[in-house]
Structure 1
């Protein structure tokens, strides 16, 4: 019998990123001269959909873009990548824009105009109609709390699997965690949600709040994975970070693809780490992601060193 691969449906945002490279991140009241600038396709939803697609999974995107040239370019780009964009709406506003400032160490600050995403209210029924039992539905923190909660609840009630990556943390998602199969957060997001600075304690708190599995990404310190059986740590993949923009999305999208292909969580996490490590060594958001062929080569060599924490 042939195993049916599940699909990925990302419900999120799509935007244009304008990146400015600086020697150091400006302080309040300080003006810095950009050493270099670049425009890229972005938005956490679109980023995760792209990473999932390049990792070999059928992916569709629910999002909204403006009725402008940027919206035209975004949709053409997503279509060219093989992402199903039939649920990407056009609205009479400028396409969302993020201004990303990146310093010499690869750290960044991001300011986002999100009028289109804030006004995007996909019907949970439409998301269910576009998916089937067992498919993965992923959301981030760019849409409203009500939309996020409604889609998660409908998905869980109708046998879809759910991933929540609540960045940016714009609302309290703790009451939603009972409808979350997999929560992915970085160290800062975990601390913000739980008021726990220790990553392991934060992961435990998030799991106890209802998330069936929790992953806390720790950058150079690897990843914590928490479930009913305990907490495990995967060591980081050595890399030289020059730009961390989009790394979390590369991680989440690849993780979704791996799980949709029925990989065990340790190997799925290693897939995600591998692609994220590649991305942080390059500049840009989607521009830093490996292409399909490179992704395939990277993932073929992934081995998960798993340790109990």
Structure 2
């Protein structure tokens, strides 16, 4: 029986210099999983507006399973994205948005309890309504994956650490790892490996991955460390690269791949996404295989 994944959180429109693109980290992960032939469902909320209609239509056209609530009072989420000359993105996330008000329902709880994996982000916790819904769903979830996305001023560290303690697997970047360790008073933890050990001990989570930008990725799994130095690509923009990394890694876990091989696949996929425009660019299995072969 094939495994299935539920992703919970923000769905929105990224207003990029090159135009409007559908986005939101949980949706990006779900779409990438779908492209990798993994049964995935996105749970979120849109407004009763044109952006909301277009987003739901996009999901239908792309065969993306979804449970999308509609908010009568709040607009569909929008993010202004700036991309610098190195392809790095910065975000201005409008508040409030419809995805801040996801309501708990029996349908959502049943969907989550039936799923093998539940992927949730930190950004959706910025408002009490969606935050309360998430914590209810976490109680029903099986294998829980936290995708840390710290976007100032849309988070507080106490809630984040609480979310990390629920997780079976945590993904975050180097800056986020340092911020978490500073909050945990881990002044003596200066190396990535020491910081990962600190987070693992504090959260009782033995499966943590930190992305290191151009320096690759380090994975802590079952007391062992794995590293991938990344792949040489010409970066167009980094929007969605981390989301594709997570989707790629989870897809390999589902297939029972060893951690080092799962890491290699995820890094290759993320590199290819960074070499193209937008979060949901098309990446073929042939492109991934070629990059893995070239190393």
Normalised by the shorter chain, which TM-score bucket?
Answer: 0.7 to 0.9
Structure number with higher helix proportion: 2
* TM-score, normalization by structure 2: 0.85
> Shift in Å at residue 109 of structure 1?
1.1
Counterpart of 1:162?
144
Distance of 1:226 and 1:275 partners within structure 2 = 20
Q: What does residue range 24-173 of structure 1 map to in structure 2 within 5 Å? A: 37-85=18-66, 87-92=67-72, 93-115=74-96, 116-123=98-105, 126-131=107-112, 135-144=116-125, 145-155=131-141, 160-168=142-150, 170-172=155-157, 173=160
Q: 1:203 to 1:153 in 2, by over 3 A?
A: farther
> Shift in Å at residue 161 of structure 1?
0.7
> Shift in Å at residue 240 of structure 1?
1.6
- Indicate conservation of the 8 Å contact 1:45/1:63, yes or no: no
Distance of 2:101 and 2:228 partners within structure 1 = 38
Counterpart of 1:231?
225
Counterpart of 1:241?
235
Q: CA RMSD in A?
A: 2.3
> Shift in Å at residue 133 of structure 1?
5.8
Which residue, 1, 5, 25 being the options, matches 2:2?
A: 5
Distance of 1:51 and 1:192 partners within structure 2 = 28
Distance of 1:108 and 1:300 partners within structure 2 = 27
Distance of 2:195 and 2:121 partners within structure 1 = 19
> Shift in Å at residue 219 of structure 1?
1.6
Which residue, 153, 177, 190 being the options, matches 2:164?
A: 177
Q: 1:126 to 1:134 in 2, by over 3 A?
A: closer
* CA deviation string 1:219-270 (max 9, x = no partner): 2111111123222212211112221111111111222222233333222222
- Indicate conservation of the 8 Å contact 2:113/2:140, yes or no: no
* TM-score, normalization by structure 1: 0.82
